[in-house]
Structure formats: C-alpha cells, structure tokens
C-alpha cells in the first residue's frame, strides 16, 4: 500500500500532488462557505435553519488507491482526478426530510456551481436501506495563473439517516463488506425505523408550525 501511495505522490512530482491537495481543499471550503451563507440567508428570510451542521472531509491517499485498484486503474494523478469523484466531500445534515430537497434546490441555483450527477437515494434507497441525496458538482478554484473546475461530492441527509449510515459504514469496514446476514437484516429493519421516525418528526413539526400560525407565537416555530 505504501508503495502505491508513493507512486501517486512521486510519479508526477510532489509539487503536483501538493497542488491537487490544495485545489480540492479549496473547492471543499468554497462549497462549505456557500452552504453556510445559504443557511444564514434562509434563517434571515424564514426564521428557520434547515441545516443542523456540515461535515467536510478529504479522501485519504490510501482510500484513493483502493478505489482506483477496484476499478482496475493505475495509481496516477490523472486517474485520480478523472475517475475519483469524491476526493473532496461535504455532508449536509438537516433536521427534516423535506429540507433535503430544499437544500438541493438552493445548491442547484448557484450560478458558479455546475451539477454533474445526482443520485437520489431518498426516493430510491439502496437495498441495504441506505438513504441520502448525492450530488457531484464542480466549482471554479481561482489560482494565480488559471481557474480549475474541481469536483466535490455533496451528501444531504437527516440526522437519523446520518446516524444509520455511520453505523453501516463501521460494520462494512469491520467485516470488510461481508457482514453476517443477521446483521444485514437488522440494519435493513433499522433503516425502516429511521424512515418512519423521519416521517413522524416531519409530521409533528408541520403540526407545530400550523399551531404557531394560529396562536401567533413565534416561539412555537422550530
């Protein structure tokens, strides 16, 4: 594994690797800032924050190498940039399932964000029960001598979905993708419970908002 990482770093020069890291970090921070501004604007207009919190992460060299090898690709900078779409990732955690599409719509209307692909695992969950809304976007990163359109993966999910996905991720790596069937079955059952919880919480929130409009008390708004 270490040799493969060295191949990435040294094959095109350490400065090239440092530049790639710089660009993806910049793209990730740029998307994060945009999301934070949109959330603040939404609060200003609607007195409501659709976003609970935002998580950012850069994929490790080890993970990049593994992904390239799974697809039968050599560990080169070119393959990494062209074929790995989630080197930089931004995860948006919201309170209610209705917020997911609201946030996605706000992102799509950003003029300097280009949407490459969308995978709606909310409407069409994975067989495992996984739910999330995925977007691969590009944002322009302005360097001193050029502009680099850089890919960022955006995931949008509720707090409950994120809790479930975190557990599934741990189990996947614990058993290297081959968990016992009874654990897989229980995870699917938990995914149904999470979905039911999200629906009930959304319904409860909608009722509270309706009551607050009747009573006229802003303190009832969530």
The full set of domain ranges for the chain reads 2-160
pLDDT score of 133? 98
pLDDT along the chain (222 residues), means of 10: 43 56 95 96 89 95 90 90 94 95 95 97 94 97 88 97 94 84 93 95 90 66 48
Q: pTM of the prediction?
A: 0.85
How is the chain classified by DSSP, letter by letter?
-HHHHHHHHHHS-HHHHHHHHHHHHHHHHHHHHHHHHHHHHHHHHHS---EEEEEEEE--HHHHHHHHHHTT----HHHHHHH-TTSEEEEEEESSHHHHHHHHHHHHT-TT-EEEEEEETTTS--TT----EEEEEEEEEE-SS-EEEEEEEEEEEEHHHHHHHHHHHHHHHHTTT---HHHHHHHHHHHHHHHHHHHHHHHHHHHHHHHHHHHT-GGG--
Homologous superfamily of 2-160: Beta Polymerase, domain 2 (3.30.460.10)
């Amino acid at each position: 594994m270490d040799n493969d990482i060295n191949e990435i770093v040294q094959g095109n020069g350490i400065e090239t690797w440092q530049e790639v890291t710089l660009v993806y970090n910049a793209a990730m921070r740029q998307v994060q800032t945009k999301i934070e501004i949109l959330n603040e604007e939404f609060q200003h207009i609607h007195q409501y924050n659709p976003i609970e919190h935002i998580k950012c992460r850069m994929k490790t060299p080890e993970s990049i190498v593994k992904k390239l090898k799974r697809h039968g690709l050599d560990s080169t900078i070119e393959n990494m940039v062209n074929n790995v779409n989630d080197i930089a990732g931004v995860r948006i955690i919201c309170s209610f399932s209705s917020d997911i599409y609201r946030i996605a719509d706000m992102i799509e209307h950003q003029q300097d964000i280009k949407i490459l692909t969308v995978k709606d695992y909310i409407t069409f969950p994975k067989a495992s029960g996984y739910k999330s809304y995925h977007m691969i976007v590009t944002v322009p990163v302005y360097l001193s001598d050029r502009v680099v359109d850089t890919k960022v993966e955006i995931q949008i999910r509720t707090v409950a979905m994120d809790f479930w996905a975190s557990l599934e991720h741990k189990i996947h790596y614990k058993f290297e993708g081959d968990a016992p069937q009874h654990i897989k079955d229980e995870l699917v059952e938990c995914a149904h419970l999470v979905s039911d919880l999200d629906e009930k919480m959304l319904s409860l929130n909608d009722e509270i908002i309706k009551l607050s409009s009747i009573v006229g008390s802003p303190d009832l708004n969530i």
